[in-house]
Amino acid sequence: MSERVPSDELARRVREGNLRAAARLITRVEAGEDECRPALAELYRHTGHAHVVGITGVPGCGKSTLVSQLARTLRADGRRVGIVAIDPSSPFSGGAILGDRIRMSDLVEDPGVFIRSMATRGALGGLAKASLDAVDILDAAGFDTILIETVGVGQDEVDIVQAAQSTVVVSAPGLGDDIQAIKAGVLEIADIHVVSKADRADANRTVMELKTMLTMSMPSGPDQWYTPVVATSSEKCTGFDELRDAIDRHRAHLIDSGELENKRSEIAANRMLKIAEGIVREDFRREREADLADVLGRVSRRETDPHAGAVELLAVVNSRIRHESTADPVQ
C-alpha cells in the first residue's frame, strides 16, 4: 500500500496543475478532514484568477447538457474549464446519485477539463458544503473558467449568487409554468438568462416573455448591466457562442465598473458567515448534553423563552471558544 501523501504536498502539486492531486484534495475536503485545512489556506492565497460562473434552474431545464456544450465552446477557445456539478445525495451512502460525470463522459478524456460531482449531503440552497473549497482548488490549479451547476431544487437556489461572479439562470419551454424563472426571486438573480431547448416550437414564447419581464424591471443608466436572454439548443449545437460572449461581456462589465472586487468581497463575507454558522451548529451538536439540557429544561418549563435560551446558548459557546483558544494557543 502506498503512503498517504500529505495535503500540503498535494497543494503544491495542485499549483503545478496536477489534476490527480486536485481530485484527492477535493475528496479530503468533502470528507471534512482537518489535516487539509492548512493546505487549503495556502492555496487560497493563489486564487482569484478564474471566472466563476453559476448555472442554475429548475430540474429538467437542461442544465447538465448546457454545461457540457458550454465547456466544449470554451475549450475551443483554448480555455481550461473546471466543472463542479452538485447532485442530490443518496439517503443511504450520502454520495451523489445523478452522476453528472456520466452525462459528461465525452469531456472526461480532455486534459483541459476537470469534472467533479459533489453531493449536497443535506445542504440547502442548491450547493454542497465543500463547493467553494473545490472552486479554490481548481482556481489555484490554473483553470480559467469554473462552472458550478447547482442541484436543481427548484425555488430555493439563490445561494449560487453568493458563490459565483456571473449567474446564468436556465429556463426551458413547456415545463408547466409560462416562465419558471419568475419563481422565488430567481428572475432577479440572473446576470444572463438562457432559454434551453430552443429548437422547440414554444421556445420563442419563453424568450419573449423573459425579455418583456426584464424590460419592465430594467435598471437605467450607462453603467448598468442589461441582462441578456440567450436561446440555446444542445440538439442543434446553437447559441453557445452567444452564451460564451455574454459571459465574457459580463466579466468585462464587472471589471470595468469595479464590481468584481465588490462581488469577491460579498462572496468572502457570505462564505465566512456560513462557515461560522456551521462551526456553531457542530459545537452545539458535540456539546448538546452539557449545554442544552439545563436551558432546554427551563424553556420547556416556561421559565425562560426560546429567544433568551438561544442567547444563553451562544454565550456558553463563545465562552468555550475563548477558553479553548486560550488553553491551546496556536504554536
CATH number, residue 99: 3.40.50.300
Task: Give, for all 331 residues of the chain, the pLDDT tens digit.
Answer: 468 999 999 999 999 999 999 999 999 999 889 999 999 999 999 999 999 999 988 777 888 899 999 999 999 999 999 999 987 644 334 444 444 455 566 787 889 999 998 876 544 444 667 889 999 999 999 999 999 998 764 544 567 888 899 999 998 887 555 455 455 466 778 999 999 999 998 899 888 888 888 887 766 666 789 999 999 998 899 999 999 999 999 999 999 999 999 999 999 998 898 888 887 777 777 666 666 778 888 899 999 999 998 888 778 777 776 776 666 554 4
Which alpha helices (H) appear in 104-149, and where do they start and end? 131-140
Domain co-membership, 66 together with 130: yes
Is 308 part of a structural domain of the chain?
Answer: yes
Cα separation, 43 vs 47, whole angstroms:
7
Cα separation, 83 vs 112, whole angstroms:
11
Is 261 part of a structural domain of the chain?
Answer: no
Is 120 part of a structural domain of the chain?
Answer: yes
Range of the domain at 277: 268-327
Domain co-membership, 37 together with 91: no
Is 263 part of a structural domain of the chain?
Answer: no
Q: What is the DSSP letter of 24?
A: H
Q: Is residue 141 within 8 Å of 47, Cβ to Cβ?
A: no
Q: Is residue 251 within 8 Å of 259, Cβ to Cβ?
A: no
* Count: domains in the chain: 3
Q: Grid coordinates in use for 266?
A: 460579498
Domain co-membership, 117 together with 58: yes
Domain co-membership, 30 together with 114: no
Last residue of a domain, one of 228, 256, 284: 256
Domain co-membership, 238 together with 280: no
pLDDT digits (tens, 9 = 90+) for 236-290: 999 999 999 999 999 999 999 999 999 999 999 988 988 888 877 777 776 666 6
pTM of the model: 0.83
Domain co-membership, 183 together with 210: yes
Q: Hey, which residues does 168 pair with through a beta bridge?
A: 55, 192
pLDDT digits (tens, 9 = 90+) for 146-187: 999 987 645 445 678 888 999 999 988 875 554 554 554 667
Domain co-membership, 39 together with 57: no
Cα separation, 135 vs 84, whole angstroms:
7
Last residue of a domain, one of 226, 256, 286: 256
Is 262 part of a structural domain of the chain?
Answer: no
Domain co-membership, 55 together with 169: yes
Is 289 part of a structural domain of the chain?
Answer: yes
